[in-house]
Amino acid sequence: MTTSMYGAYGGRYVPETLIPALDELERGWAEALADPSFREELDQLGERYVGRPTPLYEAERFAPDGRRIVLKREDLNHTGAHKINNALGQILLASRLGKRRIVAETGAGQHGVATATVCARFGLECVVYMGAEDMRRQHPNVERMRLLGAEVRAVEFGTRTLKEATSEAIRDWIASVETTYYLIGSCVGPAPYPAIVRELQAVIGREARRQMLGTYDRLPDVVVACVGGGSNAIGLFAGFLDDDVRLVGVEAAGAASLGSGRGAVLHGARSSVLVDDDGQILDAHSISAGLDYPGVGPEHAALRDSGRATYVTATDEEALAAFHRLAETEGILPALEPAHALARALDIDAELVLVGLSGRGDKDLAEVLEH
Amino acid sequence: MAGPETVELARAAARGGADVIEIGFPFSDPLADGPVVRRAAERALAAGMRTEACLDCLREVHDQVAVPLVPMTYASLLEAYGWERFATDVREAGAASLIVADLPVDAHPDLRRIQLVAPTSTDERVGLAAEQTDGWLYLVTVAGTTGTRSELSPALAPLVARARKLTDVPLYAGFGISTPEQAGAAGELADGIVVGSAALLAAEEGSAALERFVAQLREALA
C-alpha cells in the first residue's frame, strides 16, 4: 500500500470523479514497483537519456573560508533540472496504464519542458498549463516546450502562476480522466502522487549518499535544498533521513508555506499552506517561478512537525546574490530556485554541507538581468 | 453564490419554482468548478464574502425564503473554521444540508452531507455514497467541471440505472444541465435536477430573469 498520509497531512481532497483514477494509479504504481523490468527501463533511460548519475562537485571558491560546500549537480541532467527524473518515471507509468494523452502544470517551465521531452520521446500527446505571468518570466521554456511538440495553454486568471496552472491541469484531468494521465511535477496533489514523485526523485539522495561516502568517506553534516512544492528537496532528503545528518529546506521568503502557512487543503491534499483565517489561499510572491507556490508537499509538513527537517527562508535579493556569486566563483549559472538554497548554505555553520543544485539558470537570464 | 443580492435572488428562484436552493460559499481555488462558478466565486471573495459573511447571508435567506437551503463549498473553508463547528453553525444558520465538492465519501465520514457520485464511480462507491448521503444523492452527469454543455451527457442514463439498483434514495442530477430541454430529458431519468452555472448566468441579468429561467425549468420537468 502506497503511503497516503504523512502524519496529519496528505490524503485525497478531490471531486469524486477522480477517485477511481487515483485508485487505478495507485494499483499501477504498486505493480510497476514490483516489476523488475520497470526499474530496469527507468535506470537505463536515466543513464543513457538523462545522463545519470549526476556528479558531486565541490564549490571551493564559492564556499566561505574554512567550510566545504558540495553541490549535487542535477542541473547537468538532460533538460537542465531534476524534473526529468520524475517525468521519465511517470511517463513509463502512464504507458503501462495505456494513457496516450498527458496533461501537466508548470511554474518555472522546467517540469513542462521535462514532460514535453518525455512525451516526444514516447510519442504521446502533451498539454501543459502555465500561468500567463510565468510564460512571460520563463519565455525560453515556453518556446522549448512548443519545439518539443507540446501545446502550452496560458492560464489567464487569478495569480496567473503555478497555483492556477495546477488547478487548470486538474480540471482538464477531471474532464478527460478516461484517456488522460496527469503528470504532476512536484510531491504535492492527492495520494498517491506525493509518494510517486518522492520515490522517483529519491534517486538524487541515494546517489548523493553513495557519492559522499565514495569521495569523502563520510556523510555531510547538513543537506540543504530549496523547497517550492518540494520535490528536489524530498528526493535529496530521502537519501539521508535515517542518518545523523541535518536536513534544511529553504523556501522563498514570500512563499514560505512551511514557515508561515497553516493546515489547509489545496490541490487535492491537506498540507501547510499560505491561507487566510477563512481558508482562502493567499498569493505567494517570489522572483523564482518554481518557488512561487502557496502550498508544499505533505511529507515536508510532517518532517517540519516532527523536527526531522528544518525550514528557513531566503529573500529574492539573497537568492540573486548567491546566483551571481556561484556564476563568478565557479562558472556555474544556477537556476533561481536552488540559488535560495545556495544563499542559506553560505551561512550554515558546519564543516561539510551538501546542496541540491536542482537546475541550471539559463531560463532565468532575463529575470536576473532585469534586476 | 453568497452575496448582497442572494436574498432577492433566492426569493426569485423560489417564486420560479425551485424546490431546493444551493448557496455557494466561495473558495479561491474551486477545483470542481468551471469558469462561470469560478468567476462568481472570485467576485464574491472580492466583495468580502468570507465564511462569517456567508453564514449571515444564509441566515437572512432562511428568514425570508421557505425553500430548503444547501450551502456548497470546499474543504479548505471547513479546515479553517473547524469541521464540527462549521457543521453546527451552518445548520443553525438554516442549512438543510451541505455539499463539499472536494470531499469524497471516504474522507471525513463523520460530516453529514449530500454525497456526490460520478459516471466514473464504481458500484461499491455509489453504494457507499448512497448509504452515507443526507437525503438525496447528487449524480454528477459528466466527467468534468461545472458549466453549461450543449447536450445532456450520455453518461447520465447508465449512472441512474446503476444507482437505482443500489439504493432507494432520491437521485438529483447536476453538472452541465443548462436548458429546459436538457432539464426535461434529465428529469425523465432522475428524481430532480441541479442547475448551477446556467442559473448564475441568468441571475447576472437580474432576479426577474432568474425567476423566468427557473419557471422554464420547472415547466420542462412537469
* B139-190 tens-digit pLDDT: 999 989 999 898 999 999 999 999 999 999 999 999 999 999 999 999 999 9
* C-alpha of B148 from chain center: 14
CA distance A213 to A220: 9
Q: Which three cell numbers stand for residue B173?
A: 442530477
Instruction: Name which of A105, A314, A350 is nearest A225 in CA terms.
Output: A314
Looking at residue A366, its pLDDT comes to 87
Q: Are residues A307 and A216 in the same domain?
A: yes
Same domain, yes or no, for A162 and A289?
no
Alpha carbon dihedral B201, B205, B208, B210, in 10-degree steps, equals 0
Same domain assignment for residues A261 and A276? yes
From A175, A193, A211, give the residue that closes a domain: A193
Residues B96-155: pLDDT tens digits? 999 999 999 999 999 999 999 999 999 999 999 999 999 999 999 998 999 989 899 999
Q: Are residues A122 and A29 in the same domain?
A: yes
Distance CA A10, CA A19 (A): 15
The radius of gyration computed from the CA coordinates of chain A, to the nearest angstrom, equals 19
What does residue A134 show for φ and ψ, rounded to 5 degrees?
Answer: -70, -35
Residues A241 and A357 both lie in one domain: yes
pLDDT of residue A187: 97
State yes or no: ipTM above 0.90: yes
**How is B120-183 classified by DSSP, letter by letter?**
T--HHHHHHHHHH-SSSEEEE-SSS-SS--SS--TTHHHHHHHHHHH--S-EEEESS--SHHHH
Whether B92 is catalytic is no
All domains of chain B in start order, with CATH: 6-217 (3.20.20.70)
pLDDT at A1: 55
CATH value at residue A116: 3.40.50.1100
Nearest Cβ partner of B143 from A12, A177, A281? Answer: A177
Q: Which of A164, A177, A279 sits opposite B76 (nearest CB)?
A: A279
With contact defined as beta carbons under 8 Å apart, do A229 and A292 qualify? no
Above 90 in pLDDT, residue B12? yes
Distance, in Å, from the CA atom of B165 to the CA atom of B134, rounded to the nearest integer, reads 19
A24 is in which domain, residue-wise? Answer: 5-44+83-193
Write down which residue in A193, A223, A241 finishes a domain: A193
Choose the mutation target among B81, B86, B89, B102 for the interface with A, i.e. most A CBs under 10 Å: B102
What is the structure's pLDDT at A138? 87
In whole angstroms, how far apart are CA B160 and each of A232, A326, B115, B154, B163?
Answer: 45, 62, 15, 11, 5
Helix A231-238 and helix A193-216, axial crossing angle in degrees, nearest 10: 50
Tell me if B80 and A170 make a contact (CB, 8 A cut-off): no
Number of folded domains in chain A? 2
Mean pLDDT throughout A162-174?
95
**What's the pLDDT band for A367 if we cut at 50, 70, 90?**
confident
Residues A289 and A154 placed together within one structural domain of the fold: no
Residue of B nearest to A170 (CA): B31
With bands split at pLDDT 50, 70 and 90, how would you rate the model's confidence at A153?
Answer: very high
d(CA B80, CA A261): 12
User: Nine-digit cell at B120?
Assistant: 466514473
Nearest C-alpha of chain A: how many angstroms from B190? Answer: 19
Per-residue model confidence as pLDDT tens digits over A79-126: 999 999 999 999 999 999 999 999 999 998 999 999 999 999 999 999
User: What's residue A166's pLDDT?
Assistant: 97
C-alpha to C-alpha distance for A138 and A80, rounded to whole angstroms: 14
Q: Do residues A147 and A245 both lie within one domain?
A: no
Question: Is the pLDDT at A14 greater than 90, yes or no?
Answer: yes
Say if residue A264's pLDDT is above 80: yes
| CA-wise closest residue to A19 among A188, A177, A195, A199 | A177
Sheet holding A125-131, edge to edge: A151-155, A125-131, A101-106, A180-182
**Amino acid A40: pLDDT:** 98
- Whether A29 shows a pLDDT value over 80: the answer reads yes
In a shared domain, residues A62 and A123? no
Q: B201 to chain A nearest CA, in Å?
A: 19
Alpha carbon separation from A120 to A44, A105, A111, A125, B81 (Å, rounded): 18, 17, 14, 8, 46
Catalytic residues of A: 83, 105, 358
**A47 confidence band (pLDDT: 50, 70, 90):** very high
Q: What is the dihedral of CA B180, B185, B189, B194, to 10 degrees?
A: -30
Contact A14 B27 (CB under 8 A): no
